[in-house]
Structure 1
Amino acid sequence: MSVCMDVATDPIRVLVVDDQPLFRMAISCLIEDEPDLHVVGQADNGLLGVEKARELQPDVVLLDVEMPVMGGIEAAGLVRAQAPAAKVLMLSVVGDDEHLVDAVRQGAHGYLLKDLRPHQLFDMIRACMRDESPLSPALVSRLLSHVRGTPAVPPTPTAPPKRADLSERELEILRLVAEGLTNRQIGRQLHITEGTVKNHVHNALHKLHMENRIQAAAYVVRHGLGNAAPMP
C-alpha cells in the first residue's frame, strides 16, 4: 500500500464511472484496499455517473472517456455543475490530444492513461485532493505542445492579468508546474516546504482567475512566461 492515512482523517470518497464491468469492479476493489480511499458508488455510463455524483457528492470522480449513452468528456462538465466540490479525473486507454484538451475545457482536474500501475492511480487521487492536477507523464508535453499552437486553450473567465500581478516566486513555481512537477518535487527543488508551494500555487491561481494547475501551466506556455526573464 502506498500511503497510510491519519486515523483522524476521513477517507477520500471516490465514484468510479466506467462501462467495462471487469475494469470498473477491479479498480473499485483495489481502491477499497487503500485505508485512506473509499468507493462510494459505481456507474456504467456518463449520464448515470452525473446522477450518482449529484446524489453522492463524492470527493473524486473517476470518469472513463469513451462510454455509451454519454461519454466522459460531456459528463465531466455536468459533474462539475452537479457536484462542484468533486475533483474530476479522466481515465483513457489512449492519450488522444482532442479528448485531452476537451477534458481541460470541461474543467477536469486530471487526465490519466489506463496503463498506469495501481499505486500510481492512488497517488494521483491523493494529489488531486491536494489541489494538484495529475496528468500521466506521457501527456504533459503533448498538452503543452498543443497549447503552444492553439491560443484558445484553456479558456479563462476573464482576461489574463498582467505579469506584474504575480510575484517572482509565484511565477517561478508556475514555470515548474508547467514542466509537470508536483508540489513535493517543486519544494525539493526550491528548498521550501510542500505546504509553502501549495500556498503559492493557490495564490497564483486566484490571481489568474483559474481553477487548476493544468490551466496555469497552459497560461505560462501561452504567454511565453517559461523563461526567467525579469518581471516588467
Structure 2
Amino acid sequence: MPERSGVAEPVRVVVVDDQELFRRGLTMLLGVENDIEVVGEAGDGVSAVELVVETTPDIVLLDVRMPKRSGLEACMQIKAQAPSTRIIMLTVSDEEGDLYEAVKNGASGYLLKDSSIDEVAQAVRVVAEGQSLISPSMAAKLIDEFKEISRTDREPGNAPRLTDRELEVLRLVATGLNNREVAKQLFISENTVKNHVRNILDKLQLHSRMEAVMYAVREKLLDLP
C-alpha cells in the first residue's frame, strides 16, 4: 500500500478497456473498495498512455486487445514514460504468446476477465506492494514458456552475478510463489525476501519479478525443472 507522510493512501488506479460497459462496471466495483481509488479511464492504447503520463497512477489495469494501440504496445510505452506505474493485464486472452510479451514489456500481473472482483482488487493490492501476480491457470503456461527459453542454444552472456540465495529466491518466484510463500520455503523473513527481490531487480536493472525470472532463464542463471 502506498504511504505518504506515514499514512496509508488508497492505491490509485487507471482502468483501460475498449468495452465501455466492462470498463465502467469495473470502475464502479473497484470504487467500493476503501483502499482503492480509480483516478481515470481510457478506451484505447493511445489514450491510455496519455492518461497515465498525466495522472501517474500506482496501477494500470490494461486490456490486451484494443484499438489504435494494443495493450502490449501501451504496456511497453507506459513503462518507458512512467516507470513507477505498475501494470496488470486484465484480458480474455489466455494465449501463451500474449502472456510472454506482457511480462517482457514490463507487466507485473496478468489476470483473465473471468476473475472475480475480489481477485482483481487483491491483485491491485499485491502488485502495488511490488509483487507479481498471474492467474493460476496462466502460471503453468508461463513456466512452460520459460522452459522453452532455457532449451535454446544461446550461450550465457555477461550477466550480473547473483548470489546463491538470490537464485533460490528467483527459482521459487518462477513457480508463482509470493513473498510470504518464498519466506516459508527458505525459512527466512518476508522482509528478507523483499530485500533479495529488490537487490535482484537493482542488479539486473529490471522492473518486475517476472522480468527478472525471464532474464535469468535466458542468461542461463537458473534452470527450471
TM-score normalized by the length of structure 2:
0.87
Determine if the alignment matches structure 1 residue 145 to structure 2 residue 144: yes
Deviations 1:24-60 (A, max 9, x none): 1111111111111100000111111111111111111
3-state SS, counterpart of residue 198 of structure 1 = helix
Gaps of 5+ in 2: none
Deviations 1:63-117 (A, max 9, x none): 1111112221111112122322110111111211221122122222221111111
CA contact (8 A) 1:173 1:197 kept: yes
Alignment of 1:43-82 (within 5 A): 43-82=42-81
Query: Which amino acid is 1:183 matched to?
Result: N
Which residue pairs with 1:212 in the alignment?
A: 208
CA contact (8 A) 1:178 1:216 kept: no
Partner of 2:172: 176
SS class of match (1:94) = coil
Q: Distance in 2 between matches of 1:227 and 1:99?
A: 21
Is this contact kept in 2: 1:17–1:49, CA < 8 A? yes
- Range with bigger deviation, 208-217 or 11-20: 208-217
| Map 1:185-204 → 2, pairs under 5 A | 185-204=181-200
Task: Show the 5 A alignment for 1:38-117.
Answer: 38-117=37-116
Structure 1 CA distance for aligned equivalents of residues 170 and 43 of structure 2: 37
Contact 1:45 1:68 in 2 (8 A): yes
Determine the C-alpha separation between the residues in 2 that align with 1:125 and 1:188.
23
What secondary structure is seen at the aligned counterpart in 2 of 1:150? helix
Cα deviation, residue 220, structure 1? 4.4
Q: For the structure 1 residues 26 and 167, does the alpha-carbon distance in structure 2 shift closer, same or farther, using more than 3 Å as the test? A: same
Counterpart residue identity of residue 82, structure 2: A
Cα offset for 1:151? 5.7
Report the Cα offset of residue 133 of structure 1.
1.6
Aligned residues: 218
Question: Which amino acid in 2 is paired with 1:8?
Answer: V
TM-score with structure 1 setting the length: 0.85
After superposition, the C-alpha distances for 1:114-171 in whole angstroms (9 at most, x for unaligned) are 1111111111111112211211111122122123223699xxxx8423xxx3222222
**Which region of structure 1 is more displaced relative to structure 2, 62-71 or 142-151?**
142-151
SS class of match (2:134): coil
Name the counterpart of 1:8. Answer: 7
Q: Letter of the aligned partner of 1:190 in structure 2?
A: L
Aligned-residue Cα RMSD (Å) equals 2.5
Gapped regions of structure 1 (runs ≥ 5): none
CA–CA separation in structure 1 for the residues paired with 2:83 and 2:132: 16
**Residue 17 of structure 2 aligns with which residue?**
18
Q: CA separation in 2, counterparts of 1:43 and 1:190?
A: 42
The residue number in structure 2 matching 1:225 is 222
Runs of 4+ aligned residues of structure 1 deviating over 6 Å after TM superposition are none
2:150–2:217 contact (8 Å) kept in structure 1: no
Quick one: structure 1 residues 167 and 150, their matched pair in 2 at CA, closer, same or farther if it must change by over 3 Å?
A: closer
Aligned-partner residue type, residue 18 of structure 2: D
